[in-house]
Protein backbone atom coordinates (compact mmCIF):
# COMPACT_ATOMS: atom_id res chain seq x y z
CA UNK A 1 0.00 0.00 0.00
CA UNK A 2 1.30 3.40 -1.02
CA UNK A 3 0.03 6.87 -0.12
CA UNK A 4 -1.52 8.34 -3.28
CA UNK A 5 -1.14 11.91 -1.99
CA UNK A 6 -3.87 12.92 -4.43
CA UNK A 7 -7.59 12.44 -5.06
CA UNK A 8 -8.79 9.02 -6.22
CA UNK A 9 -9.17 10.35 -9.77
CA UNK A 10 -5.37 10.71 -9.97
CA UNK A 11 -4.73 7.01 -9.36
CA UNK A 12 -4.17 6.15 -13.04
CA UNK A 13 -1.79 9.07 -13.47
CA UNK A 14 0.23 7.96 -10.45
CA UNK A 15 0.30 4.32 -11.54
CA UNK A 16 2.14 5.44 -14.68
CA UNK A 17 5.13 6.20 -12.41
CA UNK A 18 5.41 2.47 -11.80
CA UNK A 19 5.75 1.30 -15.40
CA UNK A 20 7.95 -1.76 -15.46
CA UNK A 21 6.38 -3.04 -12.24
CA UNK A 22 3.44 -5.37 -11.87
CA UNK A 23 0.84 -2.66 -11.32
CA UNK A 24 -1.78 -5.24 -10.31
CA UNK A 25 -0.03 -5.50 -6.95
CA UNK A 26 0.18 -1.75 -6.31
CA UNK A 27 -2.54 -0.51 -3.99
CA UNK A 28 -3.08 3.08 -2.90
CA UNK A 29 -4.24 4.70 0.31
CA UNK A 30 -6.18 7.77 -0.78
CA UNK A 31 -4.96 10.45 0.02
CA UNK A 32 -2.74 8.97 2.73
CA UNK A 33 -2.84 6.11 5.21
CA UNK A 34 -4.09 8.55 7.83
CA UNK A 35 -7.44 8.55 5.99
CA UNK A 36 -7.82 4.96 7.17
CA UNK A 37 -7.13 6.06 10.75
CA UNK A 38 -9.57 8.98 10.49
CA UNK A 39 -12.26 6.58 9.26
CA UNK A 40 -12.20 4.83 12.66
CA UNK A 41 -12.00 7.60 15.23
CA UNK A 42 -12.79 5.14 18.02
CA UNK A 43 -9.33 3.65 17.40
CA UNK A 44 -7.78 7.06 18.01
CA UNK A 45 -9.43 6.96 21.44
CA UNK A 46 -8.06 3.46 22.08
CA UNK A 47 -4.60 4.61 21.00
CA UNK A 48 -4.78 7.55 23.41
CA UNK A 49 -5.64 5.23 26.30
CA UNK A 50 -2.97 2.69 25.32
CA UNK A 51 -0.35 5.43 25.20
CA UNK A 52 -1.44 6.99 28.50
CA UNK A 53 -2.32 10.29 26.87
CA UNK A 54 -4.35 12.84 28.81
CA UNK A 55 -7.69 13.38 27.08
CA UNK A 56 -8.87 16.96 26.64
CA UNK A 57 -12.44 17.72 25.64
CA UNK A 58 -13.65 14.51 27.29
CA UNK A 59 -17.25 15.28 26.45
CA UNK A 60 -16.55 15.73 22.72
CA UNK A 61 -16.57 12.82 20.29
CA UNK A 62 -13.69 13.04 17.83
CA UNK A 63 -15.97 11.96 14.97
CA UNK A 64 -17.90 15.21 15.43
CA UNK A 65 -14.80 17.33 14.79
CA UNK A 66 -15.46 19.79 11.94
CA UNK A 67 -12.36 18.49 10.15
CA UNK A 68 -14.08 15.11 9.78
CA UNK A 69 -17.82 15.42 10.26
CA UNK A 70 -19.80 14.67 7.12
CA UNK A 71 -16.70 13.96 5.02
CA UNK A 72 -15.73 10.71 3.37
CA UNK A 73 -12.19 9.88 4.54
CA UNK A 74 -10.92 9.78 0.93
CA UNK A 75 -12.14 13.37 0.45
CA UNK A 76 -10.00 14.72 3.30
CA UNK A 77 -7.01 16.57 1.88
CA UNK A 78 -3.78 16.01 3.83
CA UNK A 79 -5.24 13.58 6.38
CA UNK A 80 -1.89 13.42 8.20
CA UNK A 81 -2.15 17.14 8.91
CA UNK A 82 -5.76 16.75 10.07
CA UNK A 83 -4.78 13.86 12.33
CA UNK A 84 -2.00 15.96 13.84
CA UNK A 85 -4.52 18.75 14.53
CA UNK A 86 -6.92 16.28 16.13
CA UNK A 87 -4.15 14.89 18.32
CA UNK A 88 -3.25 18.39 19.52
CA UNK A 89 -6.92 19.29 20.09
CA UNK A 90 -7.85 16.16 22.04
CA UNK A 91 -4.69 14.84 23.74
CA UNK A 92 -2.02 16.19 26.04
CA UNK A 93 1.32 14.68 26.96
CA UNK A 94 3.09 15.42 30.19
CA UNK A 95 6.87 15.80 30.02
CA UNK A 96 9.40 16.53 32.69
CA UNK A 97 12.22 18.89 31.82
CA UNK A 98 14.70 20.24 34.34
CA UNK A 99 12.56 18.83 37.13
CA UNK A 100 9.45 20.68 35.96
CA UNK A 101 6.37 19.08 34.52
CA UNK A 102 5.15 20.55 31.25
CA UNK A 103 1.95 19.61 29.44
CA UNK A 104 1.71 20.06 25.70
CA UNK A 105 -0.62 19.00 22.93
CA UNK A 106 0.28 15.59 21.53
CA UNK A 107 1.79 15.76 18.04
CA UNK A 108 1.09 12.98 15.58
CA UNK A 109 4.15 11.11 14.31
CA UNK A 110 3.87 9.09 11.11
CA UNK A 111 6.81 6.91 12.17
CA UNK A 112 6.02 6.41 15.87
CA UNK A 113 2.22 6.57 16.04
CA UNK A 114 0.97 5.33 12.65
CA UNK A 115 2.10 1.69 13.01
CA UNK A 116 0.29 1.41 16.34
CA UNK A 117 -2.83 3.11 15.00
CA UNK A 118 -2.93 0.99 11.81
CA UNK A 119 -2.60 -2.10 14.00
CA UNK A 120 -5.77 -1.12 15.88
CA UNK A 121 -7.97 -0.75 12.78
CA UNK A 122 -10.73 -3.23 11.99
CA UNK A 123 -10.61 -4.68 8.47
CA UNK A 124 -14.36 -4.97 7.85
CA UNK A 125 -15.10 -1.23 8.17
CA UNK A 126 -12.07 -0.52 5.96
CA UNK A 127 -13.52 -2.74 3.24
CA UNK A 128 -16.79 -0.82 3.43
CA UNK A 129 -15.04 2.54 3.14
CA UNK A 130 -12.08 2.06 0.78
CA UNK A 131 -12.22 0.38 -2.65
CA UNK A 132 -8.47 -0.25 -2.67
CA UNK A 133 -8.75 -2.40 0.46
CA UNK A 134 -11.24 -4.63 -1.33
CA UNK A 135 -9.03 -4.76 -4.41
CA UNK A 136 -6.07 -5.82 -2.26
CA UNK A 137 -8.10 -8.51 -0.48
CA UNK A 138 -9.36 -9.84 -3.81
CA UNK A 139 -5.79 -10.01 -5.08
CA UNK A 140 -4.61 -11.88 -1.96
CA UNK A 141 -7.49 -14.36 -2.23
CA UNK A 142 -6.50 -15.16 -5.82
CA UNK A 143 -2.94 -16.04 -4.82
Q: Mind listing the pLDDT tens digit for each residue in 38-49?
A: 999 999 999 999
Report the distance separating Cα 70 and Cα 80, nearest Å. Answer: 18
For residue 40, count other CB atoms closer than 10 A to its CB: 19
Instruction: Give the pLDDT score at 119.
Output: 97
The answer to whether 126 and 33 are in contact (CB under 8 A) is no
Give me the residues paired with residue 3 across strands: 29
98 pLDDT band, cuts 50/70/90, is confident
81 pLDDT band, cuts 50/70/90, is very high
Residue 139 has pLDDT above 90, yes or no: yes
Instruction: Give the pLDDT score at 82.
Output: 98
| Of residues 121, 93, 94, the one with CA closest to residue 107 | 93
∠ at Cα 46 (79, 66), nearest 5°? 40
Name the 3-class secondary structure at 130.
coil
What are the distances in angstroms from CA 77 to CA 5, 45, 83, 106?
8, 22, 11, 21
Counts of helices then strands in the chain (DSSP H, E): 7, 5
Question: How confident is the model over 112-118, as a mean pLDDT?
Answer: 97
* Interval 5-35: pLDDT, tens: 999 999 989 999 888 898 889 999 999 999 9
Residue 95 has pLDDT above 90, yes or no: no
CA dihedral (133, 127, 108, 6) in degrees, to 10, reads: 50
pTM of structure: 0.90
Instruction: Give the pLDDT score at 138.
Output: 94
Average pLDDT for the chain: 94
- E-assigned strand segments in 38-125: 54-55, 91-97, 100-105
Largest CA distance in the chain: 58
Question: How confident is the model over 57-79, as a mean pLDDT?
Answer: 95
Amino acid sequence: MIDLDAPKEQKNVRIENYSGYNTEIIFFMIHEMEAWILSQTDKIEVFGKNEGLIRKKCDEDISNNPLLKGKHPEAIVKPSSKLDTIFRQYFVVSRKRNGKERKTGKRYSKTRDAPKLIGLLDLEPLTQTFDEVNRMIDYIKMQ
